[in-house]
Each structure stands twice: as C-alpha cells, then as structure tokens.
Amino acid sequence: MVATTSTGRDGWSSRSAFILAAIGSAVGLGNLVRFPAEAGANGGGAFVLFYILCIVLIGLPVLLSETLIGRHGQAAAPESYRKVAEESGASKSWELVATLGVLSAFLVLSFYCVLGGWVLYYIYLFIADLIATGVTGPAFDGLNFEAVDALFPAMIANGPVTVVLNLIFLAITLFFVARGVSGGIEKVAVYLMPLFFVLLVGITIYSLIGGSSQETFDYLFTFEPEKLTGEVMLAAVGQAFFSLSLGVAGMVTYGAYVSRDVNLAGTSAIIGAADTSVALVAGLCIFPIVIAAGLTPNGGLGLMFQTLPHAFQEIPFGSLIGLAFFIMVGFAALTSSVALMEVPSAWVIDQFRIRRPAAVLLVTALAAVFGTLSALSTGMLSGFHPLGFLPMFEGLGFLDTLDTLTSKLTMPIGALLTAVFIGWIADKRLVDSENGLSGGLHLFWRFLVRWFCPLALLLILLGGIFPDRA
C-alpha cells in the first residue's frame, strides 16, 4: 500500500517511519567514518565540544527550518521554497537556495557511493577472512602488519575495482529509491536502522570492555582551547551539517512527505539527538580498540580502513567483529545514499514531470559519471586537482575536492541562507503555524535563526576560508 500525505502524494506511512527515515539519512558514513576521522585530524576534544555546540545552536534550528519548509511546500525542495516565498510576498528567487542544495546533494551522492563501494570491499574481505580463518580467531591470521596496511592503498589505487564497486552501491541505492517513498525508501530505514543500532551497541560494549576506554574518554573529551582554530571551527560546522544532512535540501525533501499532524520541533530534536549520539558512540566504539592495539588514533580515512583492521588483527573474534562492523557501516551508508538520491530525483520528477523510475535512472547515470572520476581520483587520476588553484583546494583530488566544496562551502552557505529565509523573509504566521514550538523555546529558536545562526555561520565561513586574516 502506498501511504499518501494530505496532498495525495506518496509519503511516510507514519510519524515513526519519518523519524526512522530521517535518522537513517542523518546517520551514515558521516558519523562512522567522517566524525572520528575529523576528530582525530582536528585535535580531539576541542573539535568534539565545538561540534556539539554547533549541533545544538546551529544544526537543530536549521533542521527545524528545513523540515518546516518541506512540510509546508509538500513538493521537491525548490518548489517548496518558492511556495513559502510566494505566500510570504517575497521573491521567487529564494528557490535558488534549494536548487544549490539539490546540486550539492547530487555531488555528495556521487562520491558517497564511492565510499560505499569501499565498504562493500571490506565486507568481502572479512567474509573471505572468516571462511579462511574461522569464527574465533583474530582477523587476517597469517598476514603481517605491513600486508594488512597495504590492503587499503591497493584497493583505492585499483581503478576497475573502485569503479565497479561504486556502480554496485549506486545500483543498490537505485533499487530502493525507484520503488518510492513508502514502498522503498521507508522500508530500508525501518528494517536496517534497528539492526544498525543493535550492531553498534553490541560492538561498542565489546570495545569499551576489552579496549582502552579511559584513554578514549580523555582523547575525545579533554578540551584544549588553544587547538580551536578557525579551520577547526569550520571543519566542525561542516561536519555538523554533513552529519545532519543539512544545507543540501535533504531534510526539506524528507519533510515534504510528512503529514500535517506531526510536531516538527519534537521530531527534529529526536533526529538531532540520535545523530549526535551515534557520532559520539562511534568514537567510543572505534578508539578503544585502536588505542588498545597500541595504534595512534590520528585522523583521515586510514582510521577506518587501515588502523581498525589492524586492531581487529589483535583481538579474539576479530574476523567476526570486523565483518559485523563493516556490515553495520554498510547499512548506515545505504540509508543515507537513499536520501541523497531522493533529493535530485524528487526535483527531476517535479521539474520534468517524468515518472519516478526514469528520473531515478537519470540521476544514477549522471552520478555514475561523476562517481567514476571520484573513484579514479585515488589512483590513476590522483594528479588531477580540479580546483587546485584555490588555496582551500590545493592538492586535493576529485573526491576530496567535492567533499571540501560541499561540506565547507555549499552546505554552510545553504544553511545560512535558509536561516535568513526563515528568520527574516518567510511570513511569521506561516512559520509559527508549522514549527510546533511555543513559549520560551519558541522565542529562543527565533533568536537563533534570525541572529545567531546567520552571524555565526558567516564568521565561521570567513574564518575558515581566510585563516590567515581571522
């Protein structure tokens, strides 16, 4: 059965389905791979505490603004912005904010599925290892440290493998998105998110009991203010948006399938709390095993794809835990890639009035082209630095360029403009009738979207882009 919203479109079948799907969108590689990697690269505790502040004071208010616009518009993101603008007597061009978001979501999708492909490769590695070495032993028995270290660079340098894996991950995503909101997207979240949580909690308990939990707490939660530079702040804000799926019209798109009776403030708080908890728990899951194995928890993608496999080499049941771990990462990645594909697909459906499967296929084909460039950027095309003439992108290959461009520029800019739109441009009565807030909390939220979010985002953007002048 296809659930419909008040306007008769396909939509979430219940409030809890929306909450699970939105958490599924938010929780992904951003929490499990990017958060620990960024925390490691940006000085641990300083980054983590600033990140939490960003979530509460900027992320949540923008999350509520985005879902509110989507629910009011009941359409693909640009049309939703246009509706709110028109009803508020403002210029239609505000829809460009969402158009920028749709473009960003597409770019993120194109490289996200490359990382999804890497995760598939590790699932394959651990299955093969489990078959070869048995359930009880450590992972990669018989391989020495150097050999395990070499698995990751060998994989990312292997163009045919990364390109094909990217296509497989895109195809899995396409399969669900083409089936629609209640029949496909929602099903992935409803089945996979509970399994994800069980795996996450199980592995984290194992890790905290068997690993170096005290050192991990010190590492993640010791605040050293001198480490909080402009770049670290921009990295934290970018991570907050990436993690909450904000600034790319993602939550506007999901909000458009929510029925009128759902309280958006309450659901936004649940989504934000779940996403942040998963990021912190991911830190508590990964670092204890890594530190206990005598490895350095420094940042970068190597943390998940090299350091952690070394740690699995040291522990009993290493193959099994490793496999469970990467399956968990794969589930989280899929519920996010589905969201990323839905944003441009919904736009193509609305814009060109074509059927869903055709629209989704078109988006997938284009993403495959960009994805191929990203997949090759860690091997054959590693010397290609598309925006290398700009200091912010110096030395970055195609994949890293898209990551930096979206998380450090288009997402914060999209979020800033959304805050200005809701805080200053949109009709106050319209906003108040949708947001589900009252009393002091309402006043506080209004202050945040009108003043705090735009100003803080502007300062952080300038400080991060021009670090020397800040």
What residue ranges bind ligand PFF (CB under 6 A)? 25-26, 28-31, 105, 108, 242-243, 245, 248, 250, 336, 339-340, 343
Shortest Cβ distance from residue 318 to ligand PFF (Å)? 26
Nearer to ligand PFF, 108 or 291 (CB): 108
Shortest Cβ distance from residue 402 to ligand PFF (Å)? 12
Beta-carbon count within 10 A of 145 CB = 11
Nearer to ligand PFF, 62 or 339 (CB): 339
DSSP string, 317-357: THHHHHHHHHHHHHHHHHHHHHHHHHHHHHHHHHHH---HH
- Spatial distance between the Cα atoms of 393 and 200, rounded to a whole number of angstroms: 34
Q: What is the dihedral of CA 417, 423, 426, 428, to 10 degrees?
A: 170
The partner residues of 10 in beta bridges, in order of sequence, read 4
Shortest Cβ distance from residue 32 to ligand PFF (Å)? 8
- Spatial distance between the Cα atoms of 382 and 44, rounded to a whole number of angstroms: 29
Shortest Cβ distance from residue 19 to ligand PFF (Å)? 15
DSSP string, 226-244: GG--HHHHHHHHHHHHHHH
Shortest Cβ distance from residue 198 to ligand PFF (Å)? 19
Q: Which of 406, 400, 405, 308 is nearest to 115 (CA)?
A: 400
Q: How many residues does the chain have?
A: 470
Give yes or no for a contact between 180 and 338, defined as CB atoms under 8 angstroms apart. Answer: no
The partner residues of 401 in beta bridges, in order of sequence, read none
Shortest Cβ distance from residue 205 to ligand PFF (Å)? 23
Shortest Cβ distance from residue 51 to ligand PFF (Å)? 13
Beta-carbon count within 10 A of 344 CB = 30
- Spatial distance between the Cα atoms of 77 and 245, rounded to a whole number of angstroms: 14
**Per residue, what are the HEC states of 185-213?**
HHHHHHHHHHHHHHHHHHHHHHHHHHCCH
Shortest Cβ distance from residue 12 to ligand PFF (Å)? 16
- Spatial distance between the Cα atoms of 336 and 21, rounded to a whole number of angstroms: 9
Give yes or no for a contact between 286 and 312, defined as CB atoms under 8 angstroms apart. Answer: no
Tokens 């919203």 locate to: 5
For CA atoms 200, 204, 206, 211, the dihedral sign is positive
Nearer to ligand PFF, 173 or 243 (CB): 243
- Spatial distance between the Cα atoms of 418 and 314, rounded to a whole number of angstroms: 48
Nearer to ligand PFF, 11 or 211 (CB): 11
Nearer to ligand PFF, 332 or 381 (CB): 332
- Spatial distance between the Cα atoms of 56 and 155, rounded to a whole number of angstroms: 38
- Spatial distance between the Cα atoms of 458 and 466, rounded to a whole number of angstroms: 12
Nearer to ligand PFF, 28 or 309 (CB): 28
Shortest Cβ distance from residue 28 to ligand PFF (Å)? 3
Nearer to ligand PFF, 277 or 382 (CB): 277
Residue number of the CB closest to ligand PFF reads 30
Nearer to ligand PFF, 291 or 457 (CB): 457
Shortest Cβ distance from residue 112 to ligand PFF (Å)? 7
Nearer to ligand PFF, 248 or 289 (CB): 248
Tokens 């940006």 locate to: 42
Nearer to ligand PFF, 61 or 138 (CB): 61
Shortest Cβ distance from residue 225 to ligand PFF (Å)? 27
